[in-house]
Amino acid sequence: MKAAPFDYVVADSVEGAVEALADHAGDAALLAGGQTLVPLLALRMAMPGVLIDINRIDGLAGIARSGGATRIGATTRQNTILHDPLVARHVPALARATGFVGHHQTRNRGTIGGSLGLAEPAAEYPATALALGARIEARSPSATREIAIEDYFLGPYTTALDMDEMITAAIFPDWPEDTIHIVHEVARRPGDFALVGLVAAFAVEGGVFTRAGIGWFGMGPTPMKSARAEAALIGQPAATVDLAGIARLAIEDTDPMSDIHADAAYRRTVGARIFERIVGDAIGQRKAA
Amino acid sequence: MSSHAIETIVNGQSISAQVEARHTLADFLRGTAGCTGVHVGCEHGVCGACTVIVDGVAVRSCLMLAVQADGATVATAESLAAPDGTLHRVQQAMKDEYGLQCGFCTPGVVMTLAAITQGRSPDAEEIKDALSGHLCRCTGYQGMLKVAKRLGGEVQA
Amino acid sequence: MNAPADVPLAAARFTGERVPRKEDRRLLTGHGAYVDDVTMAGMVHGMFVRSPIARGRIVAIDVEAARALPGVRAVYTAADLDRHPAKLTGLYGSAESKFPDIWPLAKEDVRHVGDPVAIVLADDRYVAEDGAALVVVEYDDADAVVTIDDAATGAIVHPDLDTNVALMIATPEDPGLEAVFAGAAHVVTGTITHQRQAHVPMETRGIVAALQGSGEMLIHASCQSPHMVARYMDLAFAMPDLHFRVIAKDVGGAFGLKVQPWREEVAIVAAALLIGRPVKWIEDRLENLTASNQAREQDVTVRLAFDADATLLAADIDYRCNLGAYPHGADPNSLAMVMFPGPYKLPRYKFRAQGFYSNTAGQAAYRGPWAMESLARETLLEKAARQIGIDAVELRRRNLITAADQPHTMLTGFVIDRVTPRETLDKLVAHLDTPAFRAEQAAARAAGRYLGLGFAVYVEPTTMAFGGILSSDVADIRIEPTGKVTLTVSTHSQGHGTETTMAQLVADTLGVDIEDVSVMEDDSSRGGFGPGAGGSRQAVSGGGATLIASGKLADKIRAIAAHVLNASPDTISLAGGKVLVAGVAEMTTTVKEIAEIAYYQTERLPEGMEAGLEARHRYRPPPVVYSNAAHACTVEVDVETGMVKILRWVTCEDCGPMINPAVVEGQIAGGVVQGIGGVLYEQISYDARGNPTAVTFKDYLIPTAHDVPELEFLHIATPSASEGGFKGVGEGGAIVGPPTLVNAIADALAPFGADCLTLPLSPPRVLAEIGTRD
């Protein structure tokens, strides 16, 4: 399990990185934390001609507040996010999701930009970004843009990023102060990809849902968003909403696949069950067992 | 296939070397640096046997390229014990609690333990969580769980 | 050290104690010496080109592009290796076994995904893999024989055989058996299916082979015994003028996979002969999970007959296993047939076992290769208890053999003696507080939570010195002129701790400090043949050899001391490195002084005595030494997700007197957790084309520190008839662990009527058992 030969360049700026991407049109890969890319290289499942190392770009890592949002630089390490006070305060779902990402040792290298760039459908970060309505800040040689998360995941491991474009940050807009954040996953062992994973945020004002974000991982070819369930919740009273019905609706917007660890029917069944129970617990509507 | 000059400090020794871009840090440490205590168990970042400390934190050396360690400070299991042979406290705890059998996963385990207890006071649960990043096929983790309690308790006491 | 001179050595200082392991310092400091740590001048690295299809004919192999790659030094196919033909032999099987011709590399056809077709040798492993990617093999693809059912009805896997059945064994016909079933008050049936597992030692297989001059092949290997590797290579190559020396210092786990070399190791030796340079091959994890031999994949259909009092009347078992294409032997785990009755009184018995060839990776022995007998018996006994409406412990008590029944001749002819199945179960139950658990379980059920308690009891044939390669072990011990002690013994550790346990025996017998004893088991050119690890035998066989050889040496020390000091040998004892004469403290001398006499002042030796302080013993242990255990565990099953959490696990074993309880408990725990892996997590699977579908550690799941309980250990020590009274303990946890856990899960899910007989009990499988999935 040794990688095929490739060239390696260190980018010392974002401009340099995206120019190198453009120069190698389709034959280059960005090396961020490397925790997914390097195994793919070792297995020769990825064989790029050039690796562009973005770890040494000044200012690409870091967590800051700006304009009612939390901006997390692309090469910010997962363990930094896990322990960051701004993330804990403003994006608690992201902090909790991070605890499920890989292991301590891989979180020391793994980055948020790498995870969002790869767009693994069973990974925690893409679904978290989807549930929370994050924006992807991206740069190409010609432009900087922000991509709404709903427009970002196009298919299995496929994103809206152009060939010469890289993620520079993920921007998580603030949710209301008392938002209920839920991160739950059913995984065989710590660090494993989820059989079923749920990230949700619910804003409740005066006992009524005013905003909802529901993202799933391990539940489809991409991270999945339950848009109809989100819409159906708005205006519903938290104390009496038909959670079983909402759970069914939420699952209808997923498209789980079968693999050696769990079949699609399992994922749908368990997804609906944990949605109903976890959300019920979180909003204080726990039915008797 | 590019080749690169790197300078690293491995276990306190400065090493200048020419490395091929695709060479992993694990292979560099085992080969050029002669640190054969860095064990390669899976080469895809799951088993944890190759764990070393890079710039103060525990990482999988099979998931870093050697060229990325240019300018970095690396520590492997060979560096933990004192020059007079006194074992590092995580090594001593592993020995006292029978935390190893075949020893193949062991250097990686002790590097994780050393990294997370360096200047910090994690509790037993956090240590156990970090240990879950290591696969051991011999011990059933019984000794390691005792080590987690002991190190977690030690620092709290 | 402080023993008064007039007290002869009585109490052991080390044996029976939790002595820290001697090997740990080097392993903890990164100074272990594993095969991949060996480098040699001019060494080249091997990479195998492997079949991507499960079954098909090789039409053409084009190696020219690979040979032309800079850094590639050679590319060999089967035709090249045939210059030194090496045929592989099986380790298990009987005269009736059908074993195919097996060669290191595939010849006309490939028979499983991963079948090695060519080998590329290059300056480093990276280039070797580049070269392997350039070898072009054209195949004529054929439908694969993947499952046991495929093998029973499908195409013939090995063209040189006329059947896919490697061996069928059966008990003699019992014409009265059906009448027993017909007249039984209770008949319990079930089919239990165990998935395929991989051994996955953390260190994969590996070898360095280097011709020394023309007559000696020096091999460093990851193995279970350097002697076994040397023997195997000698048999495979059968070259009169070539001698094999095998070195294996540290080995990172084996569990049966490395009990003998297999095709890749033999191919590397052949390659080293051809290229005339040292050759290294270190299996990578992808190869390990696809091409290394594997284990289990068995199904057993059981019928048990009981009378109205739940007394066992008869058993009828049909056992099948998938041996893959190239198993280490053509044997359907025959011991499963012998051992099925286990520690129970079973008056009538029918057993049939078949092993089938298929286009999958071959089977190897794996920690308790016959373990399916305990899994089938213990799970069906608990099913019987549920069906009959009797407590599972009570059902066992009515049927277990007791001390009064021993020696007990099993229906299958083996004679069980000095075992304590009833006592271990009783001690376990007393420790557990079952009534408290049952109350907790009832309360939990009322709240919609499902707790379960499971038991299993078994008896294990260890040592197995009843013939063949496991018949004996040898210990050579010497005291150096410096007073230090060197033991060379035919045991071998892949984590077993024999470097410590054997030293404990020596230190006590010779009355020296354990630090003064070094144990060498790493070199086939020293000491003598022994099978090493395998068959739970090292404490018994190696320990027996060590005890007797040490005793001989102690006798010689006493004889010399008696002669020199003019005392009776009976009055002389050894302790603290000293030689003591009872009641005469001023006559105390040291082992070192006796050694100096034995080597340097030979004129002071008794008349006719051989100089030096050396002794040797080759020990023949009793044919079978039985150990036994009872385990229990409790679980909580999340019926929402099908996830299982193990709450508590208690073991009570009888492995005789323990040399080192910490080492014993380490063996039990390691086996139990491998068993947990087998019940809950691990599964080697294939698709219908024979493609493996769990090829990395992302998909082949073994338990982590997070997934295991903290075991509670209870011990009973009934000496066996072996020297020292020891019994084997290496495999038992993996045998008794799985039924313990399955039974706990089935108990938790009893309200759903679940039997839980299809492994692994993954979350989807558990929900299927409960029957509440959408």
The nearest CA of chain B is from the CA of C535 a distance in Å of 17
Q: Could you identify the residue written with the tokens 């051989």? A: C610
The H or E element spanning position A125 is helix A124-132
Rounded CA separation B152/A112 (Å) = 30
User: Could you tell me if residue C674 is inside a domain?
Assistant: yes
- Smallest Cβ–Cβ distance between C253 and the set B98, B137, B145 belongs to B137
Are residues C535 and C420 part of one domain? no
Taking only residues 83 to 122 of chain B, the set having a beta carbon closer than 8 angstroms to any beta carbon of chain C reads 87, 91, 94-96, 98, 100-107, 110
User: Could you tell me if residue C303 is inside a domain?
Assistant: no
Which of these, C225, C205, C323, C322, lies nearest to C267 by C-alpha position? C205
Q: Which positions in chain A touch B28 (Cβ < 8 Å)?
A: none
Q: Which positions in chain B touch A189 (Cβ < 8 Å)?
A: 132
Is the Cβ pair A1, C764 closer than 8 Å?
no
Q: Could you identify the residue written with the tokens 């072996």? A: C722
Domains of chain A plus CATH, in order, are: 7-53 (3.30.43.10), 63-173 (3.30.465.10), 180-282 (3.30.390.50)
Rounded CA separation C593/C595 (Å) = 5
Q: Is B62 on the interface with C (CB under 8 A)?
A: no
Are residues C632 and C504 part of one domain? no
Best of A2, A43, A105, A188 to disrupt the B interface (most B CBs within 10 Å) is A105
- What is each CA distance from A263 to A196, C560, C697, in whole angstroms? 11, 75, 20
Are residues C724 and C638 part of one domain? yes
Domain containing residue C629: 389-463+623-770
User: Could you tell me if residue C187 is inside a domain?
Assistant: no
Q: Which positions in chain A touch C639 (Cβ < 8 Å)?
A: none
Q: Which positions in chain A touch C700 (Cβ < 8 Å)?
A: none
**Closest-CA residue in chain B for C733?**
B140
- With a threshold of 0.90, tell me whether the complex ipTM lies above it: yes
User: Could you tell me if residue C99 is inside a domain?
Assistant: no
The nearest CA of chain B is from the CA of A40 a distance in Å of 8
- Smallest Cβ–Cβ distance between A1 and the set C286, C643, C767 belongs to C286
The per-residue pLDDT string of chain A (289 residues; one tens digit each, 9 = 90 and over) reads 999 999 999 999 999 999 999 999 889 999 999 999 999 999 999 999 999 999 999 999 999 999 999 999 999 999 999 999 999 999 999 999 999 999 999 999 999 999 999 999 999 999 999 999 999 999 999 999 999 999 999 999 999 999 999 999 999 999 999 999 999 999 999 889 899 999 999 999 999 999 999 999 999 999 999 999 999 999 999 999 999 999 999 999 999 999 999 999 999 999 999 999 999 999 887 544 3
DSSP states along B63-99: SSBGGGGTT-EEE-GGGTS-TTSPPPHHHHHHHHTT-
The residue type found at C198 is A
Instruction: Encode pLDDT of A40-49 as tens digits.
Output: 999 999 999 9
Are residues C472 and C581 part of one domain? yes
**Closest-CA residue in chain A for C680?**
A188
**Closest-CA residue in chain B for C288?**
B42
Are residues C478 and C528 part of one domain? yes
Q: Please report the number of interchain residue pairs, chain B to chain C, with beta-carbon separation below 8 angstroms.
A: 180
**Closest-CA residue in chain B for C649?**
B142
Residue A82 has a pLDDT of 98
First to last CA, chain B: 53
Residue C333 has a pLDDT of 87
Q: Is A200 on the interface with C (CB under 8 A)?
A: no
Neighbours of chain A (3+ CB pairs under 8 A): B, C
- Smallest Cβ–Cβ distance between C202 and the set B23, B47, B144 belongs to B47
Q: How many CA atoms lie within 13 A of A235 on its CB side?
A: 2
User: Could you tell me if residue C744 is inside a domain?
Assistant: yes
Is the Cβ pair B62, A38 closer than 8 Å?
yes
Please say if the pLDDT value at position B50 is more than 50.
yes
- Smallest Cβ–Cβ distance between A186 and the set C447, C641, C698 belongs to C641
Are residues C702 and C640 part of one domain? yes
Which of these, C722, C497, C496, lies nearest to C627 by C-alpha position? C722
Which of these, A140, A163, A159, lies nearest to A150 by C-alpha position? A159
Q: Which positions in chain B touch C673 (Cβ < 8 Å)?
A: 139-141
- Smallest Cβ–Cβ distance between C125 and the set A2, A261, A269 belongs to A2
Helices B142-156 and C661-676, packing angle to 10 deg: 110
- Smallest Cβ–Cβ distance between C252 and the set B77, B104, B110 belongs to B104
Residue C6 has a pLDDT of 37
Is the Cβ pair B102, C495 closer than 8 Å?
yes
**Closest-CA residue in chain A for B133?**
A103
Domains of chain B plus CATH, in order, are: 3-79 (3.10.20.30), 89-156 (1.10.150.120)
Are residues C544 and C452 part of one domain? no
Residue C428: how many other CB atoms lie within 10 Å? 24
Instruction: Encode pLDDT of B54-75 as tens digits.
Output: 999 999 999 999 999 999 999 9
User: Could you tell me if residue C548 is inside a domain?
Assistant: yes
Are residues C632 and C600 part of one domain? no
Which of these, C145, B138, B141, lies nearest to B130 by C-alpha position? B141
Q: Which positions in chain C touch A189 (Cβ < 8 Å)?
A: 681, 701, 703-704, 706-707
- Smallest Cβ–Cβ distance between C764 and the set A4, A193, A266 belongs to A266
Taking only residues 626 to 685 of chain C, the set having a beta carbon closer than 8 angstroms to any beta carbon of chain A reads 640-643, 681, 683, 685
Strands of C3-86, DSSP E: 44-50, 56-62, 72-77
Are residues C471 and C458 part of one domain? no
Best of A100, A106, A189 to disrupt the C interface (most C CBs within 10 Å) is A189
Strands of C51-90, DSSP E: 56-62, 72-77
- Three-state DSSP at C519 gives strand
Is the Cβ pair B112, A105 closer than 8 Å?
yes
The nearest CA of chain C is from the CA of A219 a distance in Å of 15
Radius of gyration of chain C (CA): 28
- Smallest Cβ–Cβ distance between C669 and the set B38, B80, B140 belongs to B140
Residue C394: how many other CB atoms lie within 10 Å? 11
- Looking at C619, C648, C674, which one is the last position of a domain? C619
Which of these, C104, C124, C145, lies nearest to C42 by C-alpha position? C124
Is the Cβ pair A1, B44 closer than 8 Å?
yes
Are residues C595 and C496 part of one domain? yes
User: Could you tell me if residue C399 is inside a domain?
Assistant: yes
Could you tell me if C454 and C744 are in contact, meaning their C-beta atoms sit under 8 angstroms apart? yes
Q: Is C601 on the interface with A (CB under 8 A)?
A: no
Residue C773 has a pLDDT of 59
Regions of chain C where pLDDT drops below 50: 1-10
Rounded CA separation A245/B127 (Å) = 41
**Closest-CA residue in chain C for A273?**
C640
DSSP states along C290-338: HTS-BEEEEEEEEEEEE-TT--EEEEEEEEEEEEESS-SBS-S-THHHH
Q: Which positions in chain B touch A79 (Cβ < 8 Å)?
A: 57
Q: Is B135 on the interface with C (CB under 8 A)?
A: yes
Could you tell me if C773 and C767 are in contact, meaning their C-beta atoms sit under 8 angstroms apart? yes
Per the DSSP assignment, residues forming a β-bridge with C355 are C167, C321
Residue C518: how many other CB atoms lie within 10 Å? 15
Pairing of β A153-155 and β A144-148:
unpaired
Are residues C526 and C476 part of one domain? yes
Q: Which CATH number covers residue C530?
A: 3.30.365.10
The nearest CA of chain C is from the CA of A262 a distance in Å of 6
- Smallest Cβ–Cβ distance between B58 and the set A53, A55, A105 belongs to A105
Q: How many CA atoms lie within 13 A of C649 on its CB side?
A: 28
Chain length of chain C = 774
Rounded CA separation C165/C97 (Å) = 9
Instruction: Encode pLDDT of A114-157 as tens digits.
Output: 999 999 999 999 999 999 999 999 999 999 999 999 999 999 99
Rounded CA separation C391/C743 (Å) = 13
Could you tell me if C734 and C371 are in contact, meaning their C-beta atoms sit under 8 angstroms apart? yes
- Displacement of CA C126 from its chain's centroid (Å): 33
Q: Which residues contact C457 (CB under 8 A, 6 or more apart)?
A: C342, C343, C378, C396, C400, C421, C424, C425, C628, C629, C630, C736
Are residues C629 and C679 part of one domain? yes
Which of these, C732, C613, C722, lies nearest to C659 by C-alpha position? C722
Q: Which positions in chain C touch A263 (Cβ < 8 Å)?
A: 764
- Looking at C602, C619, C636, which one is the last position of a domain? C619
Q: How many domains does chain C have?
A: 2
User: Could you tell me if residue C245 is inside a domain?
Assistant: no
- Looking at C576, C604, C619, which one is the last position of a domain? C619
Q: Is B76 on the interface with C (CB under 8 A)?
A: yes
- Smallest Cβ–Cβ distance between B101 and the set C282, C284, C495 belongs to C495
